Amino acid sequence: MKLGFFRILVETCRGTNIFFHLLRQPVLTAFFHFFLLSVLCSAGVALFSSLSLSKMVDSGIAKVRESCGNISLGKNGLVPEKSPDISRLIFAESRLELVYIADPFSGVPDFDQGIANTGILWSPRFIAVWGRAGEGEYVMIPALSTQKYIPKMKVLTRSEVNDYIKSGSNSETLNISTFDLNTLAQEIKIIASIILFIMMFIQLFLVFVFFIITTTATRAFLGGSPLRERISFRDYLVLALYVAFPCMIITGVVAVINVSFISLPLTALILFMIYFLYVAYRIERWVLSLNTSSQNDIGD
């Protein structure tokens, strides 16, 4: 039975019968299919999230104009017309926040209010977009610099962000001659969408890989003796990789609608464990019901 990626995707979402055939899939093929779905789900979440993010950026630009007045490019870099010497949080919404840093060499003010997953750090000579990459870590991507040297994208801890902003702000010369807030807004939309994709891929891929490995090892090595003889670790691994398909899609939908009362890893865990236990139970009952003398080794 020839099984391609899209047919497997549809069938695993329709029911459990397909899993009896998927046990014969090579491990590398199963892992490639799992990786491909992780990429597609992450791209889908980033695409749908970017629609609301785009509206927030436009709303944020209006708030910037209200809070800062005109933003001028001069010898001191990009500075607001209103209170250019005062660092402050300009806005913080559900998906984006903006912090103005008057003097990065005096320290970066508190950012990441816990509301948004992405944000912007704006200093007169350097603007960077951040996104949460993990507990206490941030993906930092340069959006605009007034100097020739532009820091590379990095994953940093909160304490390292200050040095990152300073490294992009230490030139006395300006490397740009014009500035347009609307153009910057478009660049931020693109960069923020890329960050959303990266963060979602890291979350989906690593979270499900962890669940797959731990669940597979537990089921394969702690199961009853008759099952260990008939269903190998390889079989459970392939099964778990494909069980993750509908669970990952539902987790992606939860991420898009931005459910606040349950975290994404917990959502993935609940979905995966319930579905895996159900599918594994059906497979195990089927294997045990076969006549031992006529059964081929399902792990070969």
**Residue 296 falls inside a structural domain:** no
**Residue 294 falls inside a structural domain:** no
Beta carbons of 47 and 252 less than 8 angstroms apart: no
User: What percent of the chain lies above the pLDDT cut of 90?
Assistant: 21
| 34 Cβ contact list (under 8 Å, min separation 6) | 208, 212, 241, 242, 244, 245
> What would the 3-class secondary structure string for the chain be?
CCCCHHHHHHHHHHCCCHHHHHCCCCHHHHHHHHHHHHHHHHHHHHHHHHHHHHHHHHHHHHHHHHHHCCEEEECCEEEECCCCCCCEEEEECCCCEEEECCCHHHCCCCCCCCCCCEEEEEECCEEEEEEEEECCEEEEEEEEECCCCCCCCEEEEHHHHHHHHHHCCCCCCCCCCCCCHHHHHHHHHHHHHHHHHHHHHHHHHHHHHHHHHHHHHHHHHHCCHHHHHHCCHHHHHHHHHHHHHHHHHHHHHHHHHCCCCCCHHHHHHHHHHHHHHHHHHHHHHHHHHCCHHHCCCCCC
Tokens 């990626």 found at:
5
Domain range for 256: 5-47+196-289
The verdict on 212 and 255 lying in the same domain is: yes
> Which of 20-34, 114-128, 174-188, 251-265 is modeled with the greatest confidence?
20-34
Residue 156 tokens read as 């940093």
Say how far apart CA 67 and CA 109 lie, in whole Å: 17
Q: What is the pLDDT of residue 74?
A: 72
Q: What is the pLDDT of residue 81?
A: 83
pLDDT, greater one: 88 or 106: 88
pLDDT tens by residue, 161-193? 888 888 777 765 555 555 667 777 788 788 888
The verdict on 76 and 178 lying in the same domain is: yes
Residue 218 has pLDDT above 50, yes or no: yes
Beta carbons of 114 and 108 less than 8 angstroms apart: no
Task: Tell which of 164, 194, 224 closes a domain.
Answer: 194
The verdict on 177 and 213 lying in the same domain is: no
**Residue 253 falls inside a structural domain:** yes
The overall average pLDDT reported for the chain is 82
pLDDT tens by residue, 56-102? 778 878 888 888 887 777 777 778 888 888 888 888 877 788 888 88
> Which pTM does this prediction carry?
0.67
Task: Tell which of 136, 162, 194 closes a domain.
Answer: 194
Q: What is the pLDDT of residue 130?
A: 87
Task: Tell which of 176, 194, 212 closes a domain.
Answer: 194
Q: How many domains does the chain have?
A: 2
The verdict on 133 and 170 lying in the same domain is: yes
